[in-house]
Amino acid sequence: MGNLTVVFCFTFAFVGSELIGTSAYFPFLFTLGATFIFNIMLAQYEAGRVISIIISAAVIACAYAYDFAFYSSSKEKETFYIPMVIELLILAFGYTLYFF
């Protein structure tokens, strides 16, 4: 649950700073906050942990994809999104080697 909290807090801060002054500001922050609370409650149960991770990944991926597509500048895409995608690909490759 600690990792889930850190990821949601980082995403909440990032989306809050990116979307300030837009019409998507409140809906995105509300969705992230409500999803976080729901996932923390769901993660208390053994079967709910897997469901919580899947829901979290989907909501956070949608938040970043929406920001990437509609609100980020070309400089931000170059300095934040490209390194983040590269790091996630390396992490996924490492997990793949670890499990298989």
Summarised one tens digit per residue, pLDDT across range 9-57 is: 888 888 888 888 888 899 999 999 999 999 999 989 988 989 998 999 9
Domain boundaries, the chain: 2-72
Is 20 strand, coil or helix? Answer: coil
Looking at residue 71, its pLDDT comes to 85
